[in-house]
Amino acid sequence: MATSSGQSLKTAEASAGESISIHGIRKASAVTLHGRTLEPNRQIPLNREWVEEQRANTSAIERRAATIGTRRSVKKDWQAAWLLRAISCMDLTTLSGDDSAERVKRLCAKAKRPLQDHLIKALGVEDLHLTVGAVCVYHAFVETAVKALEGSGIPVAAVSTGFPAGLSPLETRVNEIRRSVEAGASEIDIVITRAHVFNGEWNALYDEVAAFKEACGPAHMKAILGTGDLLTLRNVARASWVAMMAGSDFIKTSTGKEAVNATLPVSLVMVRAIRDYAERTGMSVGYKPAGGIKTAKQSLDWLALMKDELGRPWLEPTLFRFGASSMLADIERQLEHHVTGRYSAVHRHPIA
């Protein structure tokens, strides 16, 4: 691909969101919504009225979600640019029972260089210094990941609080967070107790998430709601509001271990909760869909959702992440097709 095409790619990528920061270091620009400048989220008192008033028109939500992938057509350089944006917002993740230090090291190497050299050169985007948004691992591998990513500016996220069920004693879960932060994790993905949602125990849920946030200290906290277990979209909306009021920096759909993980209807409910919360409080909260997002096409659907509902600021890794791993291989294949006109075999794009 000629240099002029590479410049076109960078222009298109910038239109999907602000340019990717040099050397992977994310510089958060001012976050605005409807012309109003927002502050980062912080804990506020629980407002039960805000929680109880949440409703969800399931049929309307499902109809709207069904149109997300059909409302726009992104082709050629513009599609390639959106896929680069998806990479920059990816939490490259390994959460398997057979994880090892060597697998984590390979994952970190991929995080620092998510595209093969010949694709970067062909696309003409060498000076973007493209990296993923973060690497997400179990606590046991936090130190390994931190060492492997040293100097890259890529944060390490640790799953904590009895992941994935979140049913261990509260003191144990809080201590898990503290140990991960001490080991060098700068982001913590916590799991809520779903039973608090089923029982309408909003004070208990608020206190739990607030305790997790306090234990995180300077680390950013993503609250995993386990939406596949919450049964109704109204429960998803209510849990989102409680997690945000308790100080969550992000709300996240799933652990990736549920029978049903991230879906567009669930995402629409959570994203609109973020928007309504921002309008009421003047504070911004990030969003992370996780689990079951495996293709480049799916990444475009979620990016379109974020831009339509919240605008360009939520196309930055500071406010949007994909919880994914296998999706990166499919994005690479699509970008290779963009460059060569041919699809390569999946095994040519290894992750770990």
pLDDT tens-digit readout, 81-122: 999 999 999 999 999 999 999 999 999 999 999 999 999 999
Find all residues with CB under 8 Å of 68, minimum gap 6, and list them: 264, 268, 301, 304, 305, 308
Helix, strand, or coil (residue 223): strand
Could you write out the DSSP letters of every residue in 185-211?
-SEEEEE--HHHHHTT-HHHHHHHHHH
User: Token pair of 170, please?
Assistant: 């509260």
Lowest mean pLDDT, pick from 19-23, 226-230, 317-321: 19-23
Give yes or no for a contact between 220 and 319, defined as CB atoms under 8 angstroms apart.
no
* β-sheet bridge partners, residue 252: 224, 288
Which among 112, 213, 222, 288 is annotated as catalytic?
A: 288
Helix, strand, or coil (residue 74): coil
pLDDT at residue 25 in the model: 31
**What's the mean pLDDT in 209-220?**
98
- Cα–Cα dist 33/310, whole Å: 7
Q: What is the 3-state secondary structure (H, E, C) of 105-161?
A: HHHHHHHHCCCCHHHHHHHCCHHHCCCCCEEEECHHHHHHHHHHCCCCCCCEEEECC
At 70, is the pLDDT very low, low, confident or very high (cuts 50, 70, 90)? confident
For the chain, domain boundaries: 3-13+55-348
pTM, two decimals, is 0.91
Which among 10, 222, 252, 307 is annotated as catalytic?
A: 252
Asked about 252 being catalytic, the answer comes back as: yes
Asked about 99 being catalytic, the answer comes back as: no
Helix, strand, or coil (residue 262): coil
Asked about 189 being catalytic, the answer comes back as: yes
Find all residues with CB under 8 Å of 140, minimum gap 6, and list them: 99
- Cα–Cα dist 208/16, whole Å: 36
**What's the mean pLDDT in 269-288?**
98
11-26 tens-digit pLDDT: 455 554 443 332 233 4
Q: What is the 3-state secondary structure (H, E, C) of 283-305?
A: EECEEECECCCCCHHHHHHHHHH
The CATH number fitting domain 3-13+55-348, selected from 3.100.10.10, 3.30.420.40, 3.20.20.70, 3.20.20.60: 3.20.20.70
Find all residues with CB under 8 Å of 238, minimum gap 6, and list them: 51, 52, 54, 197, 202
Which among 10, 77, 110, 189 is annotated as catalytic?
A: 189
User: Token pair of 199, please?
Assistant: 């029982």
Phi-psi region of 186 (alpha: psi -120 to 50; beta: other; left: phi over 0): alpha
**What's the mean pLDDT in 280-307?**
96
